[in-house]
Amino acid sequence: MAIPTSPVWFITGCSTGFGRDLARLVLDRGWRAVVTARGRDRVADLVEGNANALALDLDVTDAAQIAAAVAAAHDRFGQIDVLVNNAGYGYQATSEEGDAAEIRAQFDTNVFGLFALTRAVLPIMRAQRSGNIVNFTSLAGFVGLPGSGYYAASKHAVEGWSDALLAEVAPLGIGVTCVEPGPFRTDWAGRSLRQTPSTIDDYAATAAARMDGTKAYSGAQPGDPVRAGEAIIAAVERAVPPRHLVLGKFAFETVTSKLRERLAAIEADRALSLSADFPDA
CB 206 within 8 A of CB 129: no
Which is the catalytic residue, given 89, 151, 203, 217?
151
Task: Give the CA dihedral 207, 256, 17, 35, nearest 10 degrees.
Answer: -130
Q: What residues contact 270, with CB distance under 8 A and at least 6 apart? A: none
CB 243 within 8 A of CB 165: no
CB count, 10 Å around CB of 253? 13
Q: CA-to-CA distance for 250 and 266, rounded, in angstroms?
A: 24
Residue 217 appears among annotated catalytic residues: no
Q: Are strands 174-181 and 90-92 parallel, antiparallel or unpaired?
A: unpaired
Cα angle 243-127-234, degrees, rounded to a multiple of 5: 35
Which residues have a catalytic role annotated? Answer: 151
